[in-house]
Amino acid sequence: MTTPKKTQTRHGFKTNEFIVYPAHGVGQIVRIEEQEIAGYKLELFVISFAKDKMTLRVPTSKAASVGMRKLASPDIVKKSLETLKGRARIKRTMWSRRAQEYEAKINSGDLIQIAEVVRDLFRSESQPEQSYSERQLYEAALDRMVRELSAVEDVTETEAAKMIEAQLMKAPTRNKAKTEGTTDEQEAAA
């Protein structure tokens, strides 16, 4: 038995608002409803993840504890894009351990941590191929970042992806790989 709630705002979230759910990325609150489950009345956010064709119901009282948050502020977006320009930081640990750390950063829902994964796993055409698992993690992080950037900046996902790629190409090691064989003056002009 589902009854829609008249009030459209709960715990600082409102219907039709885009939010970030850490384990799934950007979704939209389509409604707030009340359901009776095992004799208890529960108020739920109904969140739609259109790209994944998925609907999630989260108790309104649990929104904070599961890490649900509003979209990143413009200054957090700017900081995440700046993170992409930094030098990749790859620890000298076993891949399985690094993969777990990358997965945890992606599922944290923190845009800056997601940007770190994108930065660390990005490969330009002149760099060696990635393993399948590296590529999967890179694409998962990139997808999360693209979706949030697209929602915050109100641009298409394609435009958001181009913004991210432009920042990645500004990283110090990427320029050297791209411009190998050029003189210092040509590199400085680039």
Query: Which 3 state secondary structure label does DSSP give 37?
Result: strand
Domain ranges of the chain: 2-70, 74-180
CATH no. of 2-70 = 2.40.10.170
pLDDT at 185: 37
pLDDT at 160: 93
Confidence of residue 45 (pLDDT cuts 50, 70, 90): very high
Q: What is the mean pLDDT of residues 88-105?
A: 91
For the chain, give the mean pLDDT.
84
Confidence of residue 23 (pLDDT cuts 50, 70, 90): confident
pLDDT at 173: 66
pLDDT at 152: 92
Confidence of residue 51 (pLDDT cuts 50, 70, 90): confident
Contacts for 134 with CB less than 8 Å, ≥ 6 apart? 95, 121
pLDDT at 8: 67
Statement: residue 49 has pLDDT above 80: yes
pTM (2 decimals)? 0.79
Topology of domain 74-180, CATH: Methane Monooxygenase Hydroxylase; Chain G, domain 1 (1.20.58)
Q: How many residues are recorded in the chain?
A: 190
d(CA 163, CA 153): 11
Eight-state DSSP code of residue 6 = S
